[in-house]
Structure 1
Amino acid sequence: MRMSVIGCGYLGAVHAAAMASIGHEVVGIDVDARKIDALSKGEAPFFEPGLPEILRDGVASGRLSFTTDMAAAHGAKVHFIGVGTPQRADGYAADLTYVNAAVDALLPHLSAGDIVAGKSTVPVGTAAELAERVEATGATLVWNPEFLREGWAVQDTIDPDRLVVGVPGGSDVSTHSARSTTGETAADVLREVYHPAVAKGTPFIVTDLATAELVKVAANAFLATKISFINAMAEIAEVTGADVTQLADAIGHDARIGRRFLGAGIGFGGGCLPKDIRAFSARAEELGRGESVAFLREVDEINLRRRDRAVQLVVDGLGGTVFEKKIAVLGAAFKPHSDDIRDSPALDVAVRLHGLGARVVVTDPEAIDNARAKHPQLTYETSRDETIRDADAVILVTEWDEYRRELPPEHASTLTRGRVVVDGRNGLDAAAWRAAGWTYYGMGRP
């Protein structure tokens, strides 16, 4: 099938390359000429495992191309909208500027029978507002939210755990109305788009437009709530002497709860969870149902408090001040297997320590260039060992394996000046570090 992908950022570039890898003919379209030039050469403009390989293969095969010319979308059967929806500068609401601009630019190139599939995370009700414009061309608007995990985005696109498609008229086709018939046809086209996943039995859920929009933000809200819940338990553990890691293990055995996303630490970040729960809260207020998701404000606040706690542990570990002390910060990306620094708790902690007068040195396997561009006031070092050399304290803030598993405390002792380690992700072996002579501080641990 021939398809276009509008927006070639993180979501769009991965989606375009993944669709080409399963046999479709794909053109990616973006206004950023530099990005398009890199992608056209088969070069990924950001770090994502597995993307360079399928990107190069797609371009070399001729199935995948990139351009800044929206006219290239003409003739495609399906047009995916994958542009960003950042938080607005004047509040918590999502900025839909890029979504509206993408749809408006696409409209002149649509033909009757085309499918416009929104993938961007948007406030519920957005699709209904866009549908009238799209349907005036004879095309159909559907909403097909993404559920990508950075670091596993290629796998999650090609082999997702579920596929959700919101269509006009929803899943109830019993009325045989024109809209329900159109929606059923659109759903069949999306089944063809994702044929390898559908053939292996991946759940394919057809809903109305509003439900599809809500599925995405509800999933993110739930995950954020689960992370902040265990961090709230960490706050209680810290004043009672309990160990939050053992608590998480114990309650995680309950199949209704599960252990995943119960890792206490410095909290979540990135380009999705923080801005999505804030946008959800803002949209609920607009709908007159702000009280329904009022708890998300506290979820956000708990998350931000854990960054404060990590900084305070470093200060406490160094006797009450970090002024002119060297602090080695292990990590800059908001999570491992990514170079994404958007709302990164790791960088936030580094910046706060710098603001207290510490000599902060940051390292990360992939995110240094992005971090330096955002926070040039910090010092960066590509070598892990050079980062911790002569440090008075070390803090783990992104759980890359080379810090969490591959840094023996005995080896670290030969390089540092001090013996204070703050485990901002509870990813280190506390007993091993203490046995090697270190003062170990965890998050919600004795």
Structure 2
Amino acid sequence: MKTKNAHHIHIAPPPAEEDAAPLRISVIGTGYLGATHAAAMAELGFDVIGVDMDPSKIAALERGEVPFFEPGLPSLISRHVATGKLSFTTDLKAAVQASDVHFICVGTPQHPSSHAADLRFVDTATRAVAASLGHDGLIVGKSTVPVGTAARLREIVSEAAPAAVHAELVWNPEFLREGMAVEDTLHPDRVVIGGASPWAEERLRRVYDAALASGVPLISCDLPTAELVKVSANAFLATKISFINAIAGLCEKADADVAVLADAIGYDPRIGRRFLNAGLGFGGGCLPKDIRALMHRAGELGAYSAVKLMQQVDEINMDQRQRVIDLTLRALGGSVLNARVAVLGAAFKPDTDDVRDSPALNVAAALHLRGAMVTVFDPAAGPTAGRLYPTLSYADDLESAVRSADIVLVLTEWDEFRNADPTRLGALVERRLVVDGRNCLPVETWRDAGWEYWGLGHTSGAPRELVASRARAA
């Protein structure tokens, strides 16, 4: 099979053949990526079949229910199940034989015994699709995989596909942001296709016709480049976050303000302001897993500079959790024993209920183990967090979480917390003491409301009137 090794960026795609039959799509795996991709493809007008081996998950999806929080997704699924454009099944063979393009969207979790990605689900899904082909089919990998995986999967396709059909595997990485996944799928900022023949590229152009017609660039490249694009993007974002957190530590030592510093350097168009908010660091199911898998694969290939860089990025990120714990201890005079601690946030970021590798819950659990009485509130992730950390207490609303608290920790930057009225909250707490683990609060507003404010990367301190009273007492 010939692959395209040149790198081309196309803005205006050629028109699709008018007499081409509408493509039918199967999506293998109905987790976060698969469910979103299936619903978005139906929204774009395709007939889509989502495949999963879990009958209960299939039944829930047919009712428009998803086991995670993603704005707009349940209604999108319900609408297209009702129109008949979207269906779900456990019968992979029937779905494959009824479709023309098959997206592999299964998970690639971190291997339980190393930093490597666990590729069992990708291997199994690819082999099953290839073996089930009843006519020519394009197999499209979307899962995040280590470089070199797609070449190996092509061998699996060659072995498993019936001799009478033409089967081709290409790679088309996803770039979804949790909380924005539907928008990112319907309106991507780029489309990357790796290892496509003209036959395969023509079909994927038809799949992404709406985006390409609006001017979204199509990057056609080889398989290894396509595999590396996603993990490299995540690694860069993780590096940017860890960089500003390292500088935040320097700002504290030098009595500088990291928020002002980030604003100033963010005006440089080569740098940009996004992902330069110092704080608790990143978590979730993608960035930590992806940088560790990249580190592992880079080591296998002998790219040791990448290994060292990713290791430092990971270490800085994990250190931020301890820094917030230490900041809380300092704010409370050295001990949290029997202190009533309100933790605002459980999800690793706002607009999701994903608590995988959540820095907020990690800090909450560590304080609980030190003897604090911890109450957690999150607008979406409370039930998910409760299943993972059942020993913590959970509140149903912001007011209940902070009532009688000795200290309030803001650890996920939900708008509800960023825009909270510090005067109203101040009337509920035992002590007006806040640790802003995300540097997301308006500092002067909180200090003017009588709060002692502690943050990362700039001078922490008490409200002006408290400073004055302490000076008089001295």
TM-score bucket of the superposed structures, by smaller chain: over 0.9
Tell me, in whole angstroms, the C-alpha distance in 1 between the residues paired with 2:58 and 2:338.
Answer: 44
Q: How does 1:25-424 map to 2 (within 5 A)?
A: 25-71=47-93, 72-136=95-159, 137=161, 138-168=166-196, 183-405=197-419, 407-424=420-437
Query: CA offsets per residue over residues 81-109 of structure 1, 9 Å max, x none?
Result: 01111111111111101111111222221
AA of the residue aligned to 2:100: K
Displacement, 1:240?
Answer: 1.2
Report the counterpart of residue 180 of structure 1 in structure 2: none
Q: Describe the SS at the equivalent of 1:255.
A: coil
1:4 aligns with 2:17: no
AA of the residue aligned to 2:83: S
Q: Describe the SS at the equivalent of 2:121.
A: helix
Query: CA offsets per residue over residues 36-58 of structure 1, 9 Å max, x none?
Result: 11101122221101111211111
Is contact 2:130-2:167 (8 Å) kept?
no
Q: Which runs of 4+ in 1 moved over 3 A?
A: none
AA of the residue aligned to 2:320: R
Query: CA offsets per residue over residues 365-424 of structure 1, 9 Å max, x none?
Result: 11111101111010011111000000000000111111111x111011110001110001
TM-score (norm 1): 0.95
Q: Describe the SS at the equivalent of 2:87.
A: strand
Tell me, in whole angstroms, the C-alpha distance in 2 between the residues paired with 1:40 and 1:119.
Answer: 23
AA of the residue aligned to 2:170: V
Tell me, in whole angstroms, the C-alpha distance in 1 between the residues paired with 2:61 and 2:426.
Answer: 44
Is contact 1:167-1:184 (8 Å) kept?
no
AA of the residue aligned to 1:150: E
Tell me, in whole angstroms, the C-alpha distance in 2 between the residues paired with 1:423 and 1:357.
Answer: 21
1:441 aligns with 2:443: no
Displacement, 1:292?
Answer: 3.2
Report the counterpart of residue 179 of structure 1 in structure 2: none
Tell me, in whole angstroms, the C-alpha distance in 2 between the residues paired with 1:74 and 1:357.
Answer: 58
Is contact 1:7-1:29 (8 Å) kept?
yes
Tell me, in whole angstroms, the C-alpha distance in 1 between the residues paired with 2:306 and 2:333.
Answer: 44
Is contact 1:135-1:141 (8 Å) kept?
no
Contiguous gaps of at least 5 residues in structure 1: 169-182
Is contact 1:395-1:422 (8 Å) kept?
yes
Query: CA offsets per residue over residues 210-241 of structure 1, 9 Å max, x none?
Result: 10001111101100000100000001111111
Tell me, in whole angstroms, the C-alpha distance in 2 between the residues paired with 1:113 and 1:38.
Answer: 31
1:19 aligns with 2:41: yes
AA of the residue aligned to 1:415: L
Q: Describe the SS at the equivalent of 2:319.
A: helix
Tell me, in whole angstroms, the C-alpha distance in 2 between the residues paired with 1:289 and 1:222.
Answer: 16
Query: CA offsets per residue over residues 4-37 of structure 1, 9 Å max, x none?
Result: 0001000000000000011000010111222111
Larger Rg: 2
AA of the residue aligned to 1:443: L
Query: CA offsets per residue over residues 305-335 of structure 1, 9 Å max, x none?
Result: 1111111111111111101111000000000
Percent identity (aligned) = 56
AA of the residue aligned to 1:187: E
Q: Size of the alignment, in residue pairs?
A: 431
AA of the residue aligned to 2:434: V
Report the counterpart of residue 176 of structure 1 in structure 2: none
TM-score (norm 2): 0.90
Tell me, in whole angstroms, the C-alpha distance in 2 between the residues paired with 1:135 and 1:14.
Answer: 29
Contiguous gaps of at least 5 residues in structure 2: 1-22, 460-474
Displacement, 1:194?
Answer: 1.0
Tell me, in whole angstroms, the C-alpha distance in 1 between the residues paired with 2:96 and 2:351.
Answer: 32
AA of the residue aligned to 2:451: W
Tell me, in whole angstroms, the C-alpha distance in 1 between the residues paired with 2:171 and 2:150.
Answer: 7
CA RMSD of aligned residues (A): 1.0
Displacement, 1:112?
Answer: 4.6
Query: CA offsets per residue over residues 59-102 of structure 1, 9 Å max, x none?
Result: 00001011111122213110000111111111111110111111
Query: CA offsets per residue over residues 318-361 of structure 1, 9 Å max, x none?
Result: 11110111100000000000000011111111111111110000
Q: Describe the SS at the equivalent of 1:222.
A: helix
